[in-house]
Structures are given as C-alpha cells and as structure tokens.
Amino acid sequence: MDYRANVSPQSGDEVSGRKDFLFVQSTTEVGGAESTLLNLFANSASLRRRSLIASLGFSKGELPARLRAVGADVVELPRARLREPMKMARTLMALRKIIRAYGIKVVLGNGAHPQVFGGVAARLAGVKSVFLVNMIHAHPLWKNEPVDVLALRGPCDLFLAISKASQATLEKLRPNVECKLFYWGTPIVEVSAEEAHRARAELGVGDGEVLLGIFGRLQRWKGQDVFVAAAAEVARARPKAKFVVVGGSVFGLEPEFFESLEKSATAAGIADRLQFTGFRTDVARLMAACDVICHTTRVPEPFGLVIVEAMVQGRPVIATRGGGPSEIIATEDDGLLVDPDDPRALAAAMIALIDAPDRRRQLGSRGPALVRAQFSIDVMASTLLRHLDEMPS
C-alpha cells in the first residue's frame, strides 16, 4: 500500500512536503489524552504543518475524523494487537515506510500501547522515539500492566511526563532515559454570563441556589460515587444546594457504574437535586453554570485536566490531594485540596464554599490567569515543539 497517497481520505489530498514528527495513536475514541491531542492540533498551525498522525484503528470512535476536521494529516492503518505477531509486524513495517517516505525525525507514542509500536518503528527506521506518558506508573516495574512494561522498557529516547509525580516514577524506572516535564493544556474557551445563566436554567438551578458539579468519564477510580455520598451530606445541611454529574462511560469501561450512582442518589433521597447529564460536548458552558467544581479521584490523578478547564471559567475547585492536582493547586489561593475517598472531608469543603460566596469569587478570579500562564493549550504546544526541536539528531 502506498502510504504517501490518500492519508486524508475525506479530501483525497496527499500530504504536502516532508514532516518532522509522526504521532502514533491507538484508540479512535476520545478520552483525556485524545482530547488533548485533538486540542493541540486544533490550536497549533506549526504542529499541523510539521506532523503526521498514524491511527492504529482500535475501537470505532471519531478521533481520526475530528483530527482531519481541524486540519491534521492522518493515515489509518489496519488494527494489529500485540498478541498477533504477524499483523503487528505488518504494522511496524508500514510505520517504518511512513517514517522514511516523509523524512520523519521523531516518532511520538501517545500512551503505552502506541509507544510499543512507535518505539520499535522508530528504531527500525533509525529515528528518535518519544513516549508521551499520560499516567503515573507504579514502582517497581513488575507492578505495572504488561503493555506498560513493554512501553517502559522498549526503545525510547525521551519521556515527556504529564506531571512531576509521573516524572519522579519514570526517573526511578528508567534512569538512563531523559525525562522532561510536559503539563497538559486546555483551550481558553470563554462563556458569557448570559450563556452560563441559560445553562443554569436548563439544569433547573434557581436564583439563590448553589450548584456543585463533577465532570469526567464515569469510572470508580474517578470517584463520582464519593461526590454523590458527599452531596447527600451537603443536601441535608444546605437545602439550597444542587448537584450535577457530567460524563459517561468511555472505552466501554464500567458501564454499570452509572446505574449504581443513580441508585445511590435515589437511596440518599437526593435524586430530585442531583442530575446526571451523560456525555456532553458543551462542557465549558456547564462548568460556567456551576458555582463549585469538584475532582474526586481515589488515586492520585496523573494531571487533572478538569481542574484547569474549571479554572478557565473562573470557578473554584475542590480536588483530591496528590499527583497533578497538588501541582496545579499549589497554594490555598488556588483552590481546596481534600484527602482521597473521604466523602465527609469533601462535604465539609463543599459546605465551606457554599457558605462563603466571597471566598468562591476570590478562588475563581485567580484561575484564568494561572491557566494562561502555565496550563493553556498554547503553552503546551510551544513546550512540546521546544522539547522536540531540542532533541539531538
């Protein structure tokens, strides 16, 4: 197959000129790492011009189409599982052919599975390999999942770690590989006061009521059940508090979790004050509709994109202590931190902010400037390009 032709099947156009970077992406569904990749290419003309994305075709999501829609060049390869050596070999050879055809200098694996393919393909083609690490790995090595072990021990010239917490573990696991910090970023999406008010009305929030929300895919480690348990305590103490859970199951993970959350809300007697919206594309306006946004993971979050998305909207955040959130919320002026898996501590923090509107405004007012300075998609794109251009040839 000629991979120089039809890499953008929707338009039929060929990729123009040579490319510096090849991003390898496995899943076609859109989770946190995939949203970040999409935002990078949507907001960086330089990255679009210099890069090609190879999709390995796992799942039936819309990521390749959405990447093309923002102007990215994408080539889709036949799916090959790690347990299928012949298909895997064909994919590796196809990647090597793409690397050589376009003069690729650096291959980037967006996560562990892509890195397994990208790292080996880079070595086969004699170019550099970069692992975009989107999690906090376990130490020692054997405590990690097999695919993570393969990615961590495979060919790699540079780790780009999503947080200092991630970086610290990587430096223990692979001390001889350079590791640099690479925080995620978010676009600066502005929502008008009028649009935020309309969103509040859609959620049934009246004047004088306080809306507390949680955003993210529904999984137990994300701790939406901790939020529901805390909401039950808050509802008893503050009758004007209302709650919203925004998100759905992604990658087919834990589809039964939503039902258990609904049952818990009903059993706690707060079903009339807590809404489940499911998956939404208008996250920014729903965040702007909230008075407080919570982050409740049971284990340290590798970064915490929801936190910076909330800060863009000028909303105060209560987050789980540890990992990326403790790096984003570095002082008491940035937000509130609570211990993980502790509904009572979360409820106490929620009540404290419900009762202190001036404190909510103070915390929220700092967020946009902090994100623009450290966690915007523009900062992320420029940091990535700097790291890649600094790599020795």
pTM tops 0.85, yes or no: yes
Q: Are residues 198 and 177 in the same domain?
A: no
Q: Is 14 inside a domain boundary?
A: no
Instruction: Decide if pLDDT at 9 tops 60.
Output: no
Q: Are residues 168 and 197 in the same domain?
A: no
* Domain membership of residue 102 as a residue range: 21-185+377-389
Q: Are residues 316 and 382 in the same domain?
A: no
Q: Is 4 inside a domain boundary?
A: no
Q: Are residues 383 and 311 in the same domain?
A: no
Q: Are residues 365 and 308 in the same domain?
A: yes
Q: What domain count does the chain have?
A: 2
Q: Are residues 246 and 269 in the same domain?
A: yes
Q: Are residues 168 and 227 in the same domain?
A: no
Q: Is 7 inside a domain boundary?
A: no
Instruction: Decide if pLDDT at 37 tops 50.
Output: yes
Q: Is 2 inside a domain boundary?
A: no
- CATH at residue 132: 3.40.50.2000
Reported confidence tier of residue 230, pLDDT bands at 50, 70, 90: very high
Q: Are residues 173 and 312 in the same domain?
A: no
Q: Are residues 163 and 207 in the same domain?
A: no
Instruction: Decide if pLDDT at 131 tops 60.
Output: yes
Reported confidence tier of residue 16, pLDDT bands at 50, 70, 90: low
- Retrieve residue 278's tokens: 């499911």
Q: Are residues 244 and 316 in the same domain?
A: yes
Quote the mean pLDDT of the chain.
94
Q: Is 13 inside a domain boundary?
A: no
Q: Are residues 172 and 225 in the same domain?
A: no
